[in-house]
Structure 1
Amino acid sequence: MLRISTLLRELETKNVDAESRRLPAVESPTTAPVVVWNLTRRCNLSCRYCYAMAADRTFPNELATREALAVLDDLQAFGVRALILSGGEPLLRSDCFILARRAKALGLHVALSSNGTLLDDRAAEALCSIGVDYVGISVDGIGATHDHIRGHEGAFYRKPRGGACGGAGSGG
């Protein structure tokens, strides 16, 4: 998955070249917080190691879209430069793309951490058009090993196979 140190180095590189890229300069990106936001506890897999206690059901008291958009405004106001959208499975949240688009509009570096099972061509194209900076797809082994750890037979073969993500991100 995404290493925070790699993300911070990339932000520093962007900062050095902020003038030519028309990015807002920051005084010290390494002191700005990186936020990992579990958008939902809902997940379509049952990973043995899940820290989010996720399950394939609706959970009460998750933020409404309006509330989540307000959180994004707060994150920007607090000086957050990088946001990792995670979960559960963030793509199960119907407003995931709306939230990612707003975060990018606020100038945040946006990453998405997914189990990959819902990352089809449509989702990949949407993430690319929004300008999501990084998509991490977690894999726990090959074939049956992955499926065993994920608690779902066939999960490994539901991962994107090159074309689903590779073509969408190649232009930008």
Structure 2
Amino acid sequence: MASAQPGVHALKLQPPSVSHTLRTGSNFIKWDEDLSTVTPVTLCVDPHGFYLYWTDQNKETELLELTLIKDVRTGRNTKTPKEAKLRELLDVGNLVGRLENRMVTVVTALDLVNINQLNFIATQEDEAKLWCEALFSLSSNLLSHNLSRDQSLLKILMTLGL
């Protein structure tokens, strides 16, 4: 034990880095089972990795703070629509791949009891997988959950800009 070096097991934290694909955005279909609505949206992440936001065809933008995301799912672990009419609307013929593999379910929660799910469908399976992995890594970044004063001010500025 005398030869043990202090700080050898220190965790090397890296600030979140947002890829070009996430910054420019991708086309998705957002669906809501309660309202039985299907809306084409452009899904994006801000350059600093604070917010996930989507814009519909009416240019209305909605924000979701990435630190509120608890899980991002794709494949058979996603929420699939139970209503046949809604499944028909989502399974458009020009999209590539199985419906379940193109789905991205974003699970958000303020606490362990009140859980919300946002459902998106990508045009291709590999696009859904890329977004799923990238969003989960951004939402689980420790530096994103423990912001400095300057980063907090930048986050407020990004909120006003979006």
Give the TM-score taking structure 2 as reference length.
0.24
Structure whose alpha-carbon radius of gyration is higher: 2
Normalising by the residue count of structure 1, what TM-score does the alignment of the two structures yield? 0.23
Tell me which protein shows more helix as a share of its residues: 1
